[in-house]
Amino acid sequence: MSLEFLLYDIDGDGIATITFNRPAKLNALNSGTLAELEATLDDAKNNAAVKAVMLTGSGERAFVAGADISEFAAMSPVGAQKQSEKGQALFRKLETMGKPVLAALNGFTLGGGLEMAMACTVRVAAETAKLGQPEVKLGIIAGYGGSQRLPRLVGKGIALEMLLTGDPITAQRAYEIGLVNYVVPGAELIGFAKQLLRRMLSNAPVALSLTMQAVDVGLSCGLAEGLRYEAAAFGLSAATKDMQEGVAAFLGKRVPNFEGK
């Protein structure tokens, strides 16, 4: 796969790292970057060697500092809506991959960058990271899911404060409000993030996928519907070889050998 704006690597643990590689532009999301991201996500989803995905940015200044504003100048209202829908669909892929996706936030995580991070399974931030939705400062609103995912993660009041002021917050504040899962020194970010993913991957792959699906479904419907889906997913998990192996390993006091079946 030939890439101009991204770096793509799969390590021996099955962790695919996608690195946004436009450091001179603070890794801003231009149309080329989004197209390459879609291609790499498709590969990661369909590649059996990939067990989890990590997103991060090149350089020390930014994860993704938003969309490439230069592409907005000549955008029509219809074009803007189509661009929003395209970005929303792309980030939705992050939520529905069936594999854990971690955003390692190494710097500025603004606008589309934060919207993308919020679509990931978990988020780990460097101590120096800054997070925000500054779209209102440009006379627009968050268009890649920010107005929907942010209140789901941090609550309506805090989300509206961030969305209406457009001001960024520190990594520590993001941790306090539940926007990121961990804050670590920048030098430890990638190692910590991969270790967190390895902890997830030590568990049964089918159970991981069904758990993420159950949470996703439950957040988009009422409690009763969510519980019904959970029960059905629980039944599916009970029919897997991994469940048999997990129970046998527990009773035998040994480490399970899950095969994803």
Q: How far apart (Å, rounded) are the C-alpha atoms in residues 104 and 117? A: 8
> Residue for token digits 């209202």?
77
Annotated active-site residue in 4, 71, 95, 115: 115
Q: Provide the Cα torsion 21, 45, 228, 147; round to 10°.
A: 20
CA 213 to chain centre: 14
What are the residues whose beta carbons fall under 8 Å from the beta carbon of 183, sequence distance 6 or more?
A: 124, 125, 126, 127, 129, 171, 172, 174, 175
Q: How far apart (Å, rounded) are the C-alpha atoms in residues 120 and 137? A: 25
Annotated active-site residue in 4, 38, 127, 135: 135
Let me know if 135 is a catalytic residue.
Answer: yes
- Radius of gyration of the CA atoms of the chain, in A: 19
Q: How far apart (Å, rounded) are the C-alpha atoms in residues 54 and 70? A: 27
Q: How far apart (Å, rounded) are the C-alpha atoms in residues 181 and 125? A: 8
Closest CA to 62 of 167, 188, 186, 150: 186
φ, ψ at 102 (rounded to 5°): -115, 135
Let me know if 127 is a catalytic residue.
Answer: no
Q: Tell me the catalytic residues.
A: 115, 135
